[in-house]
Structure 1
Amino acid sequence: MPRRSLLQALRIATIVALCSAALPCAAQGAGDNGKPVRIVVPVSAGGSADKLARILAVKLAERWHQTVIVENVAGGSGTIGAAQVARAAPDGRTLLLGGEGVTLNASLFKRLPYDTNHAFRGVIKAVVSPQILVVRPDLGVRTFQDYVAYTRRKPGELALGLPGNGGIAHVAHEMLARQLGIRVNYIPYPGGGPATLDLLGGHIDATLITLAAVTDYVRTGKLTALAVTTPYRSKALPQVPTMAEAGVQNFAVESWQGLLAPAATPSDVVERIYRDAAAVLAEPATLAQLEEAGFNVVASNPRDLDATLTRDLPRYAAVIASAGLTLN
């Protein structure tokens, strides 16, 4: 294992050990009666969220000795799946594989079937990762500068697939478009998987997507990567420049994914799930698998994730208001 991955595994393992020492003994699973645990993924199968959820589900099922089901509940830009979790019994057996969409939707939608400020509590921020701009190889676009030139030469013609209408990719690209004076044709999909399949099939021209969803396609040359949105390059695709290196100043977007629970879930249940999920993420094989896919594993605790939600709600509200984006 590379030195960095080993150090990362040791760091997470230390966090888990400290948490375990501070907690009383508890039942193995998220629930005490053997009923299945559901991880609701609010987008279609095949994207980065789905990949992360299935890795966690397999490992948690082994640890808890009970069934852990991944359920894809796509639609409504993630709000349908989120609403199911918000309404679920707060017993730790229904979890949401969420990300920025939870906070983005609070501002994108005038009405939601739940109150974002009070519907969820953080369990674990599992990973962070860049968004990456990729195009089909036969488009004739090889660099980010080529992309900007193409979209200026043919305003509104380039078909850009979005993993979700109003998601982090939509907001990030809209920020880029306003800064660079470009215009594209947004094509929303119910998740990164369908958007990627249509891009591979030549039905759209490009997508901005969580890097882990397309690493293998970039490595094999099936997609051309132009830039990542973070201020740092990804270790999974180190040849891909950052937006700043490509000439876009003062631009940085880092996405996160993790588990959330209904707001009334007891703290001891949340802490138990966090401890076990963090232990899973600290396993060298799991850590290596996620990093190879393009995720950066952080395994931060419930309080850190709650702080992220609290911070991002007003932050994204300001960005969305300035961009004039709404979904209903």
Structure 2
Amino acid sequence: MKRRQWLAGAALTAVGGLWGGAVQASVFPNKTVRIVVPVAAGGSADKLGRTLSQKLTERWGQSVVVENVPGAGGSIGAAQVTKSRPDGYTLLLAGDGLALNALQGRRVPYDVEKDFSGVVKAVVNPQILVVRPDLGVSNLQQYAALLKSKPGQITLGLPGSKGSLQHLAHEMLSQRIGASPNYIAYPGGGPAALDVLGGHIDGTLITLAAVTEYVRAGKLVPIAVTTAQRSKALPNVPTVAESGFPGYAVESWQGIVAPSATPKAVVEQLNRDIVAVLQQPEISAQLEALGFTLAGGSAQQLDDTLRENLTGYAKVIAETGIQLR
């Protein structure tokens, strides 16, 4: 009798444990969520991360915090996320740098395709070439002439460090100009923009959203945007293609990824909630005014983007012979 009672009690305990686990798993999040931004504060990635953190905190009733972990072109922050528990509580604000770091022989401590699960591509965005007002140039033809007259002397900040999308984008332009600037690596868009504003460097190629307000205020001179179409945020700034380099187009993206073993149900909820936040009229208007274009889409679509970046950028680097080190 005692044995039967013990077995019955054990069975009830087990069922209760399973039920409790199921309830706990279905309530996400029930503690603080961390978004790792792998660049310094103040740039476009940081602005996007903090916007998401504020609105997700309001939506979930749980704290969502941003942690800036700059260094090694973003690979330090990315590696930190891959080593975290795959439960949805540690996320990475990612972009093109994930693929570009892996393509350049860097010893990154992760595999882009195996160690990350896409959550959502939040935005796509143009890069913009801006210079200090006293440099004496106001369009791409003048900028190209200056580079050719002073090869290697014009200083250009790279917010994503050497080997970044900005580096690739400018080298694609430099090949057609026939001259390159002196590249200066930075841990993010914020510090790069501040050094142009302070006159410490001549210009930067940077995500448009990081400098929209400075351009509108006349503190930075816009030269051209890298996308095939002009940005609605700065409609008077021409594209590189319009400025004498037809066929040129480079577009970047930013979004959220998680460690690869994160449960599918958690990934799907993160996707739904982040898309819902991005689609809030005041948030979409705020981001579009900065120069972002909302993307959205499924988690699988971001996985596809990561694979396409690996193959696409590898092809560009191979065909052009561009050296990004």
TM-score by length of 2: 0.90
- 1:77 aligned partner: 73
**Within the alignment, does 1:95 sit opposite 2:95 as a pair?**
no
Q: Is the 8 A contact 1:91 1:265 kept in 2?
A: yes
SS in 1 for 2:300: helix
Distance across 1 between alignment mates of 2:239 and 2:27: 43
- 1:299 aligned partner: 296
- 1:5 aligned partner: none
- 2:103 aligned partner: 107
Flag structure 2 segments of 5+ consecutive residues without an equivalent: 1-24
Q: Is the 8 A contact 2:148 2:177 kept in 1?
A: no
CA distance 1:293–1:28, change in 2 (3 Å): farther
SS in 1 for 2:122: strand
User: Which of 219, 229, 233 is equivalent to 1:222?
Assistant: 219
Flag structure 1 segments of 5+ consecutive residues without an equivalent: 1-25
User: Which of 276, 280, 286 is equivalent to 2:277?
Assistant: 280
Deviates more, 1:79-88 or 1:309-318: 309-318
SS in 1 for 2:184: strand
**Within the alignment, does 1:197 sit opposite 2:194 as a pair?**
yes
Q: How far apart are residue 142 of structure 1 and its match?
A: 0.8
Q: Is the 8 A contact 2:154 2:202 kept in 1?
A: yes
Distance across 2 between alignment mates of 1:62 and 1:27: 19
- 1:186 aligned partner: 183
| Structure with greater Cα Rg | 2
- 2:21 aligned partner: none
Q: Is the 8 A contact 1:41 1:74 kept in 2?
A: yes
- 2:12 aligned partner: none
| CA distances 1:120-140 after superposition (whole Å, capped 9, x unpaired) | 011000001100000000000
- 1:141 aligned partner: 137
**Within the alignment, does 1:159 sit opposite 2:162 as a pair?**
no
Distance across 1 between alignment mates of 2:322 and 2:109: 22
| CA distances 1:132-183 after superposition (whole Å, capped 9, x unpaired) | 0000000001111100000001111100000022111011001111122112
SS in 1 for 2:242: coil
SS in 1 for 2:103: helix
- 1:290 aligned partner: 287
The 5 A counterparts of 1:254-265 are 254-265=251-262
SS in 2 for 1:108: coil
SS in 2 for 1:109: coil
- 2:268 aligned partner: 271
Distance across 1 between alignment mates of 2:113 and 2:123: 22
Q: Is the 8 A contact 1:77 1:190 kept in 2?
A: yes
Distance across 2 between alignment mates of 1:236 and 1:324: 31
Identity %: 60
- 2:18 aligned partner: none
Q: In structure 2, what residue type is equivalent to 1:111? A: R
Q: Is the 8 A contact 1:144 1:226 kept in 2?
A: yes
| CA distances 1:255-275 after superposition (whole Å, capped 9, x unpaired) | 100000001111110000000
User: Which of 45, 48, 53 is equivalent to 1:52?
Assistant: 48
**Within the alignment, does 1:310 sit opposite 2:307 as a pair?**
yes
Q: Is the 8 A contact 2:171 2:322 kept in 1?
A: no
CA distance 1:218–1:63, change in 2 (3 Å): same
- 1:211 aligned partner: 208
User: Which of 305, 317, 320 is equivalent to 1:320?
Assistant: 317
Distance across 1 between alignment mates of 2:174 and 2:53: 38
The root-mean-square deviation of aligned C-alpha atoms, in Å, is 1.5
Deviates more, 1:111-120 or 1:132-141: 111-120
Distance across 2 between alignment mates of 1:217 and 1:51: 15
- 1:174 aligned partner: 171
Deviates more, 1:45-54 or 1:101-110: 101-110
Q: In structure 2, what residue type is equivalent to 1:258? A: G
Q: In structure 1, what residue type is equivalent to 2:301? A: D
- 1:18 aligned partner: none
Q: Is the 8 A contact 2:159 2:186 kept in 1?
A: yes
**Within the alignment, does 1:250 sit opposite 2:214 as a pair?**
no
- 1:43 aligned partner: 39
Distance across 1 between alignment mates of 2:274 and 2:129: 30
